[in-house]
Structure 1
Amino acid sequence: MAVPAGVPALRAERLTKHFGGTHAVEDLTLEVPAGEVFGFLGPNGAGKSTTIRMLLGLLRPTSGQAWVFDTPVADVEQAHVHLAYVPADVALWPSFTGQECLDLLAGVGPGTDLGYRAELVERLGLDPGKRARAYSTGNRQKVALVAAFATRAPLLVLDEPTSGLDPLMEREFRRCIGEATGRGQTVFLSSHQLAEVEAVCTRVGILRAGRLVEVAGLEELRRLRRSEVTVDLARPAPGLESLSGLPGVADVRWSSPLRLTLALTGPPGPVLRALGEADVVRLDVREPTLEEIFLDYYGRAAA
């Protein structure tokens, strides 16, 4: 489905939602370019689902506004022409079969590739002949995912989409994300499963207590955090005490006379030059995982 060129797939300006005295989302501003896989991270209760419901026009904000491409989400019917949505808790029509649910969802969506849908049913191991009331949580999730990925909507909004899937199906999910982006679709993926986001997303936003604390690419986020450097020596090198005074170096620790670790922010050049005279037999540099970055935000905020 054609959408205006150069227009962000999702845009929010100062979205805020209060439920009485509870501030679920506060002053959230965000822009997701078309064609991007954007990860929306936060633990349960951070405000992710509330934000998504406002972005989709399903919940009226206390203040602020949002757009799907160039359509204000207040115009829900028109905004939803451009998107497919998988909620965190999938509810189906209990007396319908899986196939009937898929057909109904295809009828209300912006167009479905029926051949690809049949392929996805097979790949995800879904029995479409069963009644929805007999489906497990994971199988209800599969119905919603098949319907969403088979659509040709330019925007896919996925809220905790793999919570009921086993690891094999999670692998298929990641493959589906790659195929969607290959078709030029935008994916907005809300999750607390950090490995999943790290595997498929190009940028992430981290939500804490209803506030967006960071939006950045994965590599940029990693650069914001210290890398851990471990050095193994063939023989003691007393001159390395000076490492602690180098730019970007912190937390220098000797676990033995022949092994040291340090935390490094920024380029490694000064450290490598300082190690030039030492008899180094092994040097490992470990980048932080997205999980460590994420936990650092929460740990820092709680301190």
Structure 2
Amino acid sequence: MIQLNNISFSFKKGEPLFNDLNWSLQPGKTYGLLGLNGAGKTSLFNIISGMLFPSDGACTFDGNVVRNRNPQFLSELFIVPEQFELPAMSGDQYTQLHAPFYPRFDEQLMERSLSELQVNSKKKISELSFGQQKKFLLSFALATRTKLLLLDEPTNGMDIPSKSQFRKLQASLNQPDRCTVISTHQVRDLGSMIDHVTILKDGKIIFNHSLDEIFEHLSFIKTESDQPDKFIYSEEVLGGLHTIQPFKDGAGNEFDLELLFNGVIQQPEQINKQFNGGE
């Protein structure tokens, strides 16, 4: 679906942000794009959506170059940016105006999302709180049923119950043709929403594996034992350590995305070699 081939990009008079970056995104998958602030997540979203142009390489959607931003591509893309400004109209008016651009727009899903996230579409969206505006835009995004959905820090500004409700809503949808990419540095918010983990650091993809691959090669084990030579990475928790270890058949595997993220950021080579036979 989306293919980034040998992407290089830099802002004017700046150091290269991406250099020879490659990434493939497939339909039916939900990718977690993780990274510290400044890692390049938002810029990568802008390249994928055709709003930034790489200096070398190409990004394609179903074989078509996205920088051309042709109508067919735009009707299959929806992006929820981290920062946005919505017009002074009601949610219903916004939907009536913008829904026709998306050929598979699902009005029933829109109504369900607004109801579950407790958003009043009769009110002017510009007068809603930032959290309520975010929930309205996420509801619209889900309802577009585009093939590609990009969510940049989707849970920023939302309270804890709303975050939980959005995760349940997103996970409940049957979307075999949709590729969803969720970018965030708030790793805890993603745990149950993704099936693939991609981690950026300093403009490079340093980890890129499905959850199935992760469970085949790593074990996440809480232990009281202090034997660091057996651990790839560990953090102190109440009552002992939460560790990443080479896969152990039958071991209690309590997957922790935040632990994995911290481990990859600090020990990328040690963790990645587990996916290459431990070599």
Give the direction of change, closer, same or farther, for the CA distance of 1:221–1:26 in structure 2 (3 Å limit): farther
Residue 189 of structure 1 corresponds to 182
Find the residue that maps to 1:34 and give its secondary structure.
coil
Question: How many residue pairs get matched?
Answer: 258
From 190, 209, 218, the equivalent of 1:216 is 209
Change beyond 3 A, Cα 1:292–1:83 = same
Query: Cα gap change, 1:300/1:183 in structure 2, threshold over 3 Å: closer, same or farther?
Result: closer
Q: What residue number does 2:272 align with?
A: none
Conservation of the 8 A alpha-carbon contact between 1:230 and 1:285: no
Taking the aligned partners of 1:147 and 1:263, their CA distance within structure 2 comes to: 38
Q: Are the aligned partners of 1:228 and 1:264 in contact in 2 as well (CA < 8 Å)?
A: yes
TM-score (norm 2): 0.81
Percent identity between matched residues is 25
1:294 equivalent to 2:240? Answer no
Matched-pair contact (CA < 8 Å) for 2:220–2:242: no
Q: Distance in 2 between matches of 1:262 and 1:43?
A: 21
**In structure 2, do the counterparts of structure 1 residues 68 and 61 end up closer, same or farther at CA, with 3 Å as the change threshold?**
same
What displacement does 1:87 show? 1.2
Stretch of structure 1 that moved more, 52-61 or 183-192 = 183-192
Q: Do the aligned partners of 2:27 and 2:176 also contact (CA within 8 Å) in 1?
A: no
SS at match of 1:140: helix
State the superposition RMSD in angstroms.
Answer: 2.9
5+ residue gaps in structure 2?
A: 233-239, 269-279
Q: Which has the larger radius of gyration?
A: 1
* Deviation for aligned residue 1:261: 10
Give the gaps of 5 or more residues in structure 1.
Answer: 1-7, 233-243, 252-258, 270-283
- After TM superposition, the structure 1 = structure 2 runs for residues 278-289 of structure 1, keeping only pairs within 5 Å, are 285=252, 287=254, 289=256
- Partner residue of 1:32? 25
Counterpart residue number, 1:267? 248
- Do residues 41 (structure 1) and 41 (structure 2) align? no
Which of the numbers 86, 92, 102 marks the counterpart of 2:80? 86
Q: Once the 2 structures are TM-superposed, how far is the Cα of residue 223 of structure 1 from its aligned partner?
A: 5.7
Mapped partners of 1:143, 1:136: distance in 2: 11
| Partner SS state of residue 158, structure 1 | strand
- More moved, 167-176 vs 56-65: 167-176
Secondary structure at the aligned position of 2:173 is classed as: helix
Match of 1:74 in 2: 67
| Superposition TM-score, scaled by structure 1 size | 0.75
Query: How big is the shift at 1:164?
Result: 1.7
Give the match for residue 13 of structure 1. 5
Runs of 4+ in 1 over 6 A off after TM superposition: 259-263
Quick one: structure 1 residues 124 and 15, their matched pair in 2 at CA, closer, same or farther if it must change by over 3 Å? Answer: same
Q: CA deviation at 1:288?
A: 5.6
Structure 2 CA distance for partners of 1:181 and 1:88, relative to 1, 3 Å: farther
